[in-house]
Amino acid sequence: MKKTKRLLALFLVLVLIIPAMFACGNTDATGNTPVDTTAAEDTTVADTTPVEVDPTLNGIPVENYTVVYSASGFDFNKRAAEYISNQIEILTGTAPKVVLDTEAEVTENEILVGITNRQESLGIDSVEDKTEGFEFLSVAKDDKILLYGNEYMIAGAAYNLIKEISEIKTVTISTEITVGEPVFEEAKNVILLIGDGMGFNSLKMGNEMYESGEYAKYALYSGKYPQPIIADLLPYKGQNYTHSYDNDVTDSAAGGTALATGYKTYNGVLGLDNNLNPVKNLTELAQELGKKTAVMTSDVKNGATPSSFSIHTITREDSDDILAEYEKVTFDYVVDSIFDPAVSLREVLDSFENAENGFFMMYEEGLIDKFSHNNNYRSFYTAYARLNSALRLFFEFMMYNPDTVLILTADHETGRVTLNEETGKHEFTYGDHTQVNVPLYGIGVGAEFIDGKTLDNTGVSKFVAQLMGVDDFGDPSLEQITDKTGLETMTEDEKALKDKEKEEAIKNYNKKN
């Protein structure tokens, strides 16, 4: 019994008295027991994961729109509508429906591509007059979003809309018309467009032929719809000095070789320098850089210009040898005899669109030269309209791919196109090549270099190589920029010296080959 009482007393001490003593001793100066704050600390780690925002357009989920387009030449509007739908599918997993305005009833929440038959489109007065050159517009009206751009510029409007949706997520299109223009980026894609035989006055004559309306039926491409000449829209303008190594007047072989390799050579020679040694061309350079490559022409592939960008041989006259040389070529595309660029060119451009290292393309309209030789105005306009069609397609591609630069030039002028003071129109006055400087136009990042300058034709090649990041291309002994007008002439002694050089070079070439 006593043992039990002792155990009970010990229990009371442990349970009641000792804790009370600790409580009494753990007080501050005021006699208050401090609050234990350690248990109250929040040890939860904040969630910093970004909150995913579903893209919206004027408060509506973008995938809930229907994309409505109007019919247009070259299907520019249709392609823009499909681009919008495809990109929205990438962003959201759901592709908006794409419909032609005349084949679908009006629904809520529509993106209108081009001037459609919807009342909201028709209610905007003279929308075409609100843009010029490389401009496009957007505007919201009720539950409709209107995008407009003249022909290929609808691509710029589509690209800009998707870019805003991708970057901003919650996009609001103003109810006031907003005019925009493309912003180009550092180029990884390089397009060299050559109008064989195209001079400054050839451009003027083509424009006069369009404006007269008499030649519209000879523009045979993509539904035969008339095409205003658009080369003058290119913002950067210079000149190309075309003389060959041994002649004031180049042919297409020497002119093409200079543009392709950065070396001058003798008329008739393809891809060889003035010592008749093979020299690298821009297409081969691009291939070495890991770029996709294409040589395209409306002429045959063994024509002088495409061959200058593809093969190396002593004479343009030996077609069998040229075609045998082509068997060694491993470019991604060599396409000739192009009738309608909307078919052939689009196929190649579409395949290059996602090229990791970009691409280089030389595209030639070869028949301007042919029909300038025989002063055939109708066929000249057909060829000129085809070049103009290609230019439109290149512009469209650049709107979707702003990391592209385009250069337009010629190898020489043909026909000595001259202004007739009596009629006020330009016309052919000659049936062969001339020595005058030719256009050198461009658009895209880097193209500003040529603005206001005259480049030697070898300098054009060096410039294109520079656009691909290579600064040591072509003949280092030749100046890139010149002050020559194209009217300079060789003396008889200079010509005789060039002839002797050529004879010696041919002897050495034959020994080696």
Q: Which of 387, 474, 354, 375 is nearest to 210 (CA)?
A: 387
In a domain, 212, yes or no: yes
Rounded Cα–Cα distance for residues 82 and 72 (Å): 14
Q: How far apart are alpha carbons 304 and 252 in whole angstroms?
A: 6
| Residue 226 pLDDT | 53
Is 110 in contact with 122 (CB distance < 8 Å)? no
Spatial distance between the Cα atoms of 96 and 118, rounded to a whole number of angstroms: 18
Residues facing residue 170 across a β-bridge: 56
Cβ–Cβ < 8 Å for 396, 155: yes
Both 194 and 138 in one domain: the answer is: no
Q: What is the pLDDT of residue 126?
A: 61
- Out of 150, 180, 210, a domain closes at 180
Distance between CA atoms of residues 381 and 367, nearest Å? 10
Residues 155 and 212 both lie in one domain: no
Those residues with Cβ within 8 angstroms of residue 426's Cβ, 6 or more apart along the chain or in another chain: 201, 204, 205, 208, 417, 418, 419, 420
SS3 401: coil
> What CATH number does the domain containing 450 carry?
3.40.720.10
Residue at 448: amino acid letter:
E
Whether residues 156 and 248 fall in one domain: no
Query: Are 94 and 173 in a shared domain?
Result: yes
What's the CATH code of the domain at 79? 3.30.379.10
Tell me, yes or no, whether 413 lies in a domain: yes
165 shares its domain with 209: no
Please report, in tens digits, the pLDDT of each residue of the chain (513 residues total): 444 444 444 444 444 444 444 444 444 444 444 444 444 444 445 444 454 679 999 999 999 999 999 998 789 999 999 999 999 999 999 999 999 999 999 999 999 999 999 999 886 656 666 778 899 999 999 999 999 998 899 999 999 999 999 999 999 999 999 999 999 999 999 999 999 999 999 999 999 999 998 888 888 665 444 566 789 999 999 999 999 999 999 999 999 999 999 999 999 999 999 999 999 999 999 999 999 999 999 999 999 999 999 999 999 999 999 999 999 999 999 999 999 898 899 999 999 999 999 999 999 999 999 999 999 999 999 999 999 999 999 999 999 999 999 999 999 999 999 999 999 999 999 999 999 999 999 999 999 999 999 999 999 999 999 999 999 999 999 999 999 999 999 999 999 999 999 999 999 999 988
Of 190, 155, 161, 132, the residue nearest 443 (C-alpha): 190
pLDDT at position 14, please? 44
The parent domain of residue 122 ranges over 56-180
Please provide the size of the chain in residues.
Answer: 513
3-state secondary structure of 293: strand
Instruction: Report which DSSP code applies to 103.
Output: G
My answer on whether 421 and 468 are in the same domain is yes
> Which of 131, 147, 180 finishes a domain?
180
Identify the CA nearest to 112 among candidates 89, 90, 84: 84
- CB-based contacts of 363: which residues, under 8 Å, 6+ apart? 191, 192, 193, 194, 294, 296, 297, 345, 390, 394
With respect to residue 82, please indicate whether it lies within any of the assigned structural domains. yes
User: Is residue 464 in some structural domain?
Assistant: yes
On whether the CB atoms of residues 271 and 320 are closer than 8 A, the answer is: no
For residues 320-349, one letter each, b for 16 or more C-beta atoms within 10 angstroms of the residue's C-beta and e for the rest, the string is ebbeebbeebebbbbbbebeebbebbbebb
Residues 236 and 129 in one domain: no
Whether residues 250 and 378 share a domain: the answer is yes
Q: Is the domain of 155 the same as that of 207?
A: no
Q: Give the per-residue pLDDT at 127.
A: 63
Alpha helices in 272-376 (DSSP H): 282-288, 304-308, 319-326, 341-352, 367-373
Same domain, 453 and 362: yes
Look at residue 497 and tell me if it is in a domain: yes
First to last CA, the chain: 129
Q: Is 23 within the bounds of a domain?
A: no
Q: What is the pTM of this model?
A: 0.88
Q: Are residues 306 and 431 in the same domain?
A: yes
Residues 393, 446, single domain; the answer is yes
Which of 180, 206, 225 is the endpoint of a domain? 180
Q: Is residue 205 part of a domain?
A: yes
In degrees to the nearest 10, what's the CA dihedral of 34, 36, 37, 41?
Answer: 180
What is the number of helices (H) and of strands (E) in the chain? 15, 22
From residue 347, give the alpha-carbon distance in Å to each of 270, 333, 353, 388, 462: 28, 11, 10, 18, 28
51 falls within a domain: no
CB atoms inside a 10 Å sphere around CB 73: 18
Tally of domains in the chain: 2
Run of H or E residues at 457: helix 457-467
